[in-house]
Amino acid sequence: MAGHSKWANIKRQKAVVDSKRSKIFTKIARDIIVAARTGLPDPEGNFQLRSAIDKAKAAGIPSENIERAIAKGAGTYEGSNRLESIRYEGYGPGGVAVLIEALTDKRTRTAADLRLAFSKNGGNLGETGCVSWMFEQKGVAIVAGEVDEEALLEVSLEGGAESYELIDDAESPGVEVFTEIENLELLSNTLKARGYGVREVELRWIPGNFVEVMDLEQAQQVLRLMDVLEDLDDVQTVTANFEIPEPVLAEVMA
C-alpha cells in the first residue's frame, strides 16, 4: 500500500549498530548449521547452504567460523549441543500477527524468553497454528541497484518469478523478486545470467493480509516488540503482518 511501510521494509531502514554485530554473526552461522543439517553439507550440492555461506562472507564472517558451522550442521563437530528449529506464534499490540523462527538447544528457555518479551510489550505468545495460517513462505531474490522494470519483469518471468516489489531506499535501491521456494535457485541463476546483481536470496514468510497501525503509541510498542524479539539469541527470523503509515513511522523513527 502506497505511503505505508511493512516490517520487512522497516528493518532495512534501521541502522545495524556495532554492538549487535556478534549477534548477526551468530544468526548467520546458525543459518549455515540448519542448511547443512537439512541438506548435503557440500555447498556445491546444497543451494540453501551456498546462499548462507555467501551471506556469511558478505558479512565478514571468518572462513574458520563458516567451516565450524558446516561441521556442526553435519554432526561432525565434537562438543556442540544439538540445535533444533522451532516455530513460535503470537499476537502483538492491536492484534498484529507475529511468526518467529528459532534455533535452540533448550526449548523451555526459548519459550520463556519469548513469553516474557511478548508480555512486556503488549502482546502474548500463542499456540501453534494461531497465526501461521495468515502467512505463506516464499523464496526471495534481492536485486541490487536501479533497474528497468520492464526488462526485469521479462527476465523474472523467465526465471519463474511470481511478483516483485521495488525497495524504496535512496541509499540502497533494489528490487525484491518473489517465487516458490523450490524455484528460488533457478530464479537466482537466471537473474545472474542476465547480468543482474543478486545481493541476497532468502526464504521469507509473507503475510496474506495486513493490520494498519495508525496510533503513534501503538506503533512504538509494536516496533519495540519486534526489536526485543529480534535481539533474542535463539531467534532467527521475525515476521509480522503490520503496516505503519509513513507519517506515523517518521514520528517513531525521529
Secondary structure string (H, E, C) spanning 132-162: HHHEEEEEEEEEECCCCHHHHHHHHHHCCCC
Residue 223 covered by a domain: yes
Among the candidates 27, 43, 74, a domain finishes at: 74
Q: Is the pLDDT score of 149 beyond 80?
A: yes
What average pLDDT does range 108-132 have in this prediction? Answer: 96
Are both 215 and 248 inside the same structural domain? yes
What is the number of structural domains in the chain? Answer: 3
Closest to 223 measured CA to CA, from 120, 87, 121, 119: 121
Average pLDDT, the chain: 88
Residue 198 covered by a domain: yes
Residue 8 covered by a domain: no
Q: Which domain holds residue 41?
A: 18-74
Among the candidates 192, 207, 222, a domain finishes at: 207
Q: Is the pLDDT score of 19 beyond 60?
A: no
Are both 53 and 67 inside the same structural domain? yes
Q: Which residue's entry shows cell 509480522?
A: 240
Closest to 198 measured CA to CA, from 137, 147, 163, 249: 147
**What does the alpha-carbon distance between residue 115 and residue 98 come to, in Å, rounded to a whole number?**
13
Residue 98 covered by a domain: yes
Are both 89 and 99 inside the same structural domain? yes
pLDDT value at position 40? Answer: 79
Are both 37 and 96 inside the same structural domain? no
pLDDT value at position 16? Answer: 45
Are both 33 and 149 inside the same structural domain? no
What are the pLDDT digits (tens) for 59-76?
A: 888 899 999 888 888 877
Among the candidates 51, 74, 97, a domain finishes at: 74
Domain CATH number, residue 55: 1.10.10.200
The set of cell numbers assigned to 234 is: 535463539
Residue 10 covered by a domain: no
Are both 215 and 187 inside the same structural domain? no
What are the pLDDT digits (tens) for 84-94?
A: 889 999 999 99
**What does the alpha-carbon distance between residue 165 and residue 138 come to, in Å, rounded to a whole number?**
14
What average pLDDT does range 17-38 have in this prediction? Answer: 75
Of all residues in the chain, the percent with pLDDT exceeding 70 is 93
Residue 5 covered by a domain: no
Of all residues in the chain, the percent with pLDDT exceeding 90 is 57
What are the pLDDT digits (tens) for 135-146?
A: 999 999 999 999
Residue 12 covered by a domain: no
Q: Would you state the torsion angle of the CA atoms of residues 121, 17, 231, 84, taken in this order, to the nearest 10 degrees? A: 160
Are both 129 and 142 inside the same structural domain? no
Are both 112 and 212 inside the same structural domain? yes
Q: Which of 53-57, 75-79, 115-119, 162-166 is predicted with the least confidence, judged by mean pLDDT?
A: 75-79
The set of cell numbers assigned to 202 is: 532468502
Q: Is the pLDDT score of 5 beyond 90?
A: no
Are both 37 and 149 inside the same structural domain? no
The SS3 call for residue 172 is coil
Domain CATH number, residue 122: 3.30.70.980
What average pLDDT does range 4-26 have in this prediction? Answer: 67
What are the pLDDT digits (tens) for 94-117?
A: 999 999 999 888 999 999 999 999
Residue 153 covered by a domain: yes
- Residue 14 DSSP one-character state: S
Q: Which of 70-74, 153-157, 244-248 is predicted with the least confidence, judged by mean pLDDT?
A: 70-74
pLDDT range class, residue 208, cuts 50, 70, 90: very high
**What does the alpha-carbon distance between residue 116 and residue 97 come to, in Å, rounded to a whole number?**
17
